[in-house]
Structure 1
């Protein structure tokens, strides 16, 4: 099987050992497309740190041997080529996308494909995943567009977990794919106002296109000060939200942002963390206690976040083509990672292994 291997900071294209046999409850998929995720960028920056943090946190889904090659990529879409025993909801030839989880038949331990030395990710010609997390792609939705359901659904999931109501407003910090998903989800949940904070002009434009009421360049204006000024100016929309709260959706992963937010967010507000960094960070706990600010890293119930997002993509309510700013084949993966480390021009780059037709 041809794939892109990652080891010691280098990407190489070539043949890799085949995947494990398709086990009970699993499907094998010929990959048509796969997005490059922010966590893939974290692995490429420091794979040992990524694994150390996952293992120290007791998180088996992203634990692998960083001294052996891995094939990254979990934001996949493709065509089913083989069914494991017990799979009745799919057929060979189905166009699918989904959450990239595979359970090792020998240990019973699940893993995220790509963060495993055995279950290759989708920067290759095929993957094996648990069918429970797989969904059929609607006929009128392109497979490369369907890959966006995975990162975008994180926004929907966290907006549900944050308890946002129609009386509340949202501040989305960082407008990569996850942040754009939060903008879409907050607007769909009826937020009184959505403010998007993003230094990249291209991403600010996309945030506005996805429904943000106000977009702010944080290098020029503090978005919380913008919020406060709107209140002081008697803005009618903000005034109508006086009985609600402001919820910050932290999607940037920027070092120091949590400490800044605990000092600057309004009293009785909330911080929902969607994109977290891998380095240690300090906050002064008494500050959010004084200000009665809740911080949520992903606790709470949610329902059908992926399916809701897939339906939005199929209905065209999300401009998928605007989000996809580049496409590469396997030979272009290394350059794509380099380009995404300075994200002024790009939002989402899609890898197309070329085995399955779109």
Structure 2
């Protein structure tokens, strides 16, 4: 079992492939054989020595957007079995601090996360609480299933924006999250979806994904354009 360990932004090398060993699983833990893992902007920030969603203490296996197959389960796990395909929720909360008790667990004072300060998806296997695994249909490609975590972030944004059928929506920025927002805004019933993005390839992809228009905010004047 191999894992790619982040050794620290100022370490040489920054990453190192090491053999991994795992103790016996806890009653409510599972071992997942990873099949796909995305590279998030958070990973890039950590690579450059910036903070992640929680404190990063190297060496640690990064990667928090991942999916795989359940290899083993603890004796108390009843909702999963070996062979199940799963997508991961990397974020874990204490459940006891004031934000958690107020229903705002995203502000947990003791947040920890797979692939940030606990070994994550840039490895052949990951040990995780069963509660972080969401069973998926076996016909879903693992590369797509690994996008469940960023898509969840987008769905939260869509809910906060309260997009209704017939709305016009402007998405600013055409990175992965922005392009997902374009698609979800369309699925939410927006009548007009516009992307503002300076990179030509991203604008072209947005049009393929359902945007009505994709503008270059550096060289085009939005006020002078018509989208009817």
TM-score higher than 0.5? yes
* Aligned counterpart, 2:3: 3
Per-residue Cα deviation, 1:200-233 (whole angstroms, up to 9, x for no partner): 2222122112211111122322xxx42x335xx5
Partner of 2:224: 229
- Contact (CA 8 Å) 1:98, 1:135: kept in 2 or not? yes
Residues 1:161 and 1:103: Cα distance change in structure 2 (over 3 Å): closer
Residue matched to 1:14? 18
Deviations 1:5-51 (A, max 9, x none): 112321222224x34653343321011110111110110012xx315
Q: Would the alpha carbon gap of residues 155 and 101 (structure 1) be closer, same or farther in structure 2, given more than 3 Å must change?
A: closer
SS for the counterpart of 1:50 is coil
TM-score normalised according to structure 1 size: 0.54
From the superposition, tell whether residues 209 and 133 of structure 1 become closer, same or farther in structure 2 (CA, over 3 Å). Answer: farther
Number of the residue aligned with 1:41: 44
The structure whose residues are more often helix, as a share, is 1
Q: Distance in 2 between matches of 1:80 and 1:7?
A: 27
Distance in structure 2 (CA, Å) of the matches to 1:149 and 1:213: 25
Q: Distance in 2 between matches of 1:143 and 1:36?
A: 14
Matches within 5 A, 1:141-220: 141-220=140-219
**Does structure 2 conserve the Cα–Cα contact (< 8 Å) formed by 1:102 and 1:130?**
no
Cα separation, partners in 2 of 1:87 and 1:102, compared to 1, 3 Å:
farther
Distance in 1 (alpha carbons) for counterparts of 2:211 and 2:92: 36
Shift of 1:133: 3.4
Are the aligned partners of 1:101 and 1:130 in contact in 2 as well (CA < 8 Å)? no
Distance 1:207 1:159 in 2: 17
Q: 1:203 to 1:19 in 2, by over 3 A?
A: farther
Taking the aligned partners of 1:173 and 1:20, their CA distance within structure 2 comes to 46
- The alignment's C-alpha RMSD in Å is 2.3
**Alignment partner, residue 35 of structure 2:** 32
Structure 2's unaligned 5+ residue stretches are 95-109
TM-fit CA distance, 1:98 = 2.4
- 1:1-358 residue pairs with structure 2 within 5 A? 1-9=1-9, 10-16=14-20, 18-19=21-22, 21-46=24-49, 49-50=50-51, 62-65=54-57, 68-101=58-91, 111-116=112-117, 119-221=118-220, 225-226=221-222, 228-230=223-225, 236=228
CA change 1:198–1:159 in 2 (3 A) is: same
1:59-92 CA distance string (max 9 Å, x none): xxx1232xx3121101111110121243222111
- Supply the distance in 1 between the matched residues of 2:91 and 2:25 (Cα, whole angstroms): 13
Aligned residues: 209
Pick closer, same or farther for the CA change 1:171–1:99 going to 2, 3 Å.
same
Could you tell me how far apart the structure 1 residues matched to 2:195 and 2:81 are? 42
Gaps of 5+ in 1: 55-61, 237-358
Bigger drift between 95-104 and 27-36 goes to 95-104
- Classify the secondary structure of the residue corresponding to 2:134: strand
Whether the 8 Å contact between 1:121 and 1:127 is mirrored in structure 2 is yes
Question: TM-score, normalization: structure 2?
Answer: 0.81
